[in-house]
Structure 1
Amino acid sequence: MDQSTKPIHVYRGKYIESAHDVHIAVVSAKGDLLAYYGDPVRQTFARSSMKPFQALPVVETGAMEAYNLTERELSLFCASHIGEPYHRESVMEVLGKINLPEDKLQCGTHIPKDTESYKRLVQSGGELTPVYSNCSGKHSGMLAGVAQQGMDVDTYHELSHPYQQQIIDGIANVSGYEREKIMTSVDGCGLPVHRMPLYYNALMFARLAAPDKWTDGTSERQSALGRIRDAMTSYPEMVAGTDQFDTDLMKAYEGRIVAKGGAEAVHCFGDRETGIGVALKISDGNPRATTAASMEVLQQLGIGNEKIFADLDDYHYVPVKNMRKEKIGEVKPVFKLNRI
């Protein structure tokens, strides 16, 4: 297949070396499909893009108040953080508040994206522990919600656990997608991950960004969504970290955009002003094309201004660099949304 016909090009010099397909859904909080590219109902595991909705029970059960948890910590519950010191310290503070040890985190561990933290750990002779996992914030939030309800804290990660069933109930409610149609598998951190059409992921982010525009949502659920949105946009550094797209995107838009990426090249965001939600998936799972696609959607929808787009330009036209850190190409989106 001619790579030039694909929607996202990867240039080496002036030549297209590789290309990526993308599927996009743009949806209003009322549920109208406003624009799309590719297959807007592609069945998709949204992966970590679902974290804001996995945080619903910790808000709705009163665990935030019961354990004196902060809005900054709530943002962390929605995070795929890079393991910077303040991320790890915050997770440990949450565990201290709920009086549970680190080994109750069922997220496993991995080398953090913050390489400086990992270097210091190795130099000190330390070992990786669960707090370094990019999902440790989400897991600590779940433990708070589980503990508040007196549920079993050892099996909270299992699909059959009542807390995971509460999460599925919330996802079904916010998305409007039939609960029995939500398929599940296992995410990288051991928790259930949810498979549904891309359109419904976009709808969820529309309602996260502008819950007041979700006309048939309950006031309690609207309030919880608004609280999660405000936590993420007020403390965007907790959601990802230094020089990370979600953090920089939310900072640049100063609270207007709420965003969360997921593994295998998923990205979702919602616009507080218009009530528009967007979900996209790069078909081959390569994350290098994700930011370019999201920025192109924002530009085509007219969400933002020249300063914002200038500040985020390296996420839109992503530099391809050699080992000398010299720019020798770029990732460039070339698609046009189909408007409805």
Structure 2
Amino acid sequence: MASPIHVYRGSYLESVHEIHVAVVNAAGEVLYSYGDPGRLTFPRSSMKPFQAVAVVQTGAIDHFGYEDADLSLICASHSGEGFHRSRVMNILDRINLEEKALQCGTHIPHDIEGYNKLIRNGGELTPVFSNCSGKHSGMLTAAVHMHEDIHSYREFTHPHQQRILEVIEDVCGFPKQEIELSLDGCGVPVHRLPLKNAALGFARLAKPFSWRDGERSQFLERIRSAMTKHPEMVGGTDRFDTDLMREFNGRIVAKAGAEGIQCLGDAETGIGVAIKVADGNARAASVATMEILKQLGIGDEAIYERLDEYIKAPVLNARKDRIGHIEANFQLAAGERVLTRS
């Protein structure tokens, strides 16, 4: 099988990336695949919408009067831009907690301009700059509302982490006793399950009432609506999730994860897609996503033209010169073709 993602320097092939893809409907049927759709995977931050379901179902969002933009931020891997940070701080203020309550650690944000300004002004990185600070503020919101310990909210045994596990079991259709756990980059539990089950979760997120009626579908619809109405909160300026959801104007809900994960759901067809770049390099994920959307007939030429930087993604040098590109070179197979798990 030829490598599905090609990286060119000039006109010369320099590198390749292998991918695994699952395209699933809300019933769990694998409609299309590439590689191993059953590959056991940590979907990483792409599970944030389902982690947010566990917050919504406690009633905390309504109790504290959160807006849709707040809920979208709770699902985010944000860029640490000013509007992200101020909203996280506002969430903490409403639950009467200080920034030090966030246990997500910190890192240099995607918003390099803002980071450089911070350094020039003699500031230092704090937890609010973490791309997971929105998620952590949501977990704290639920713990405060449920009168649970706020110091151990990251622990596997904390009631809120158990709520999250139950949501993922239900929405992604995979028994919780078979979900393997480890720690994510921000210190909270991360869940290992088959790639096709992550895709199933996004099929149900995209069109929840085609899955079933009831409160959980209402929660999913609320989260989908918040993310697609406020895509700037999910990522930020020049971020793929944000640009994709904005261009599709509510049709696509999308969430990336670290180590080359990209998941999305289509509200019109009710299908979910999950992608894993085998070597973990995120630069291949957006290119693969756009190729899959084109093969599935989702979107039109006008949308593809506006998202062209993700279809034939540029390779830049240190001078910001375009010296190559990344392109897709694969065809989805109908149905499920399970290859060797790794």
TM-score by length of 1: 0.97
Q: Could you say which residue in structure 1 is the equivalent of 2:227?
A: 232
Greater displacement, 262-271 / 11-20:
11-20
Secondary structure of the equivalent of 1:80? coil
Between 90-99 and 108-117, the greater mean CA deviation after superposition: 108-117
| Residue 325 (structure 1) aligned with residue 320 (structure 2) | yes
Which runs of 5 or more residues in structure 1 are unaligned?
Answer: none
Contact 1:30 1:213 in 2 (8 A): no
> Is 1:85 aligned with 2:114?
no
Residue 142 of structure 2 aligns with an amino acid whose one-letter code is G
Deviation at 1:5, TM superposition (A): 2.0
- Three-state SS of the structure 2 residue aligned to 1:185 is strand
The 5 A counterparts of 1:145-156 are: 145-156=142-153
Query: Cα distance, 1:116 vs. partner?
Result: 1.4
Which of residues 39, 43, 48 is equivalent to 1:46?
43
Is 2:9 aligned against 1:12? yes
* 1:196-207 equivalence runs, <5 A: 196-207=193-204
Secondary structure of 2:186's aligned partner: coil
Shift, 1:15, TM fit: 1.2
Structure 1 contact 44–195 (Cα < 8 Å) conserved? yes
Q: In structure 2, what is the equivalent of residue 159 of structure 1?
A: 156
Q: Identity of counterpart residues, as a percentage?
A: 56
> CA shift at 1:339, angstroms?
1.2
Q: What secondary structure is seen at the aligned counterpart in 1 of 2:228?
A: helix
- Give the match for residue 339 of structure 2: none
Aligned pairs, how many?
335
Q: How far apart are the structure 2 equivalents of 1:195 and 1:264? A: 13
Match of 1:31 among 28, 32, 54: 28
CA distance in structure 2 between the partners assigned to 1:160 and 1:121 by the alignment: 37
Partner of residue 175, structure 1: 172
Letter of the 2:312 counterpart? Y
Amino acid corresponding to residue 325 of structure 2 in structure 1: E
Once the 2 structures are TM-superposed, how far is the Cα of residue 80 of structure 1 from its aligned partner?
0.2
For residue 246 of structure 1, the aligned residue among 217, 229, 241 is: 241
Structure 2's unaligned 5+ residue stretches are 336-342
Q: Distance in 1 between matches of 2:315 and 2:114?
A: 26
What amino acid does structure 1 have at the position aligned with 2:147? Answer: G
1:120 Cα offset (Å): 1.5
Q: Following TM superposition, by how much is the alpha carbon of 1:56 offset from its aligned partner in structure 2, in angstroms? A: 0.9
- How far apart in 1 are the matches of 2:74 and 2:84? 11
Which residue of structure 2 aligns with residue 60 of structure 1? 57
Name the stretch that deviates more: 237-246 or 60-69.
60-69
Shift of 1:86: 0.3
Distance 1:166 1:321 in 2: 43
Partner of 1:5: helix, strand, or coil? coil
Give the letter for the 1:76 counterpart.
L
CA distance in 1, matches of 2:272, 2:312: 22
Task: Kindly state the Cα deviation for residue 14 of structure 1 after the two structures are TM-superposed.
Answer: 1.4
Matched, 1:141 2:133: no
**2:281 counterpart of 1:286:** yes
TM-score, normalised by the number of residues in structure 2: 0.97
Runs of 4+ that moved beyond 4 A: none
Look up the SS of the partner of 1:160 in the other structure.
coil
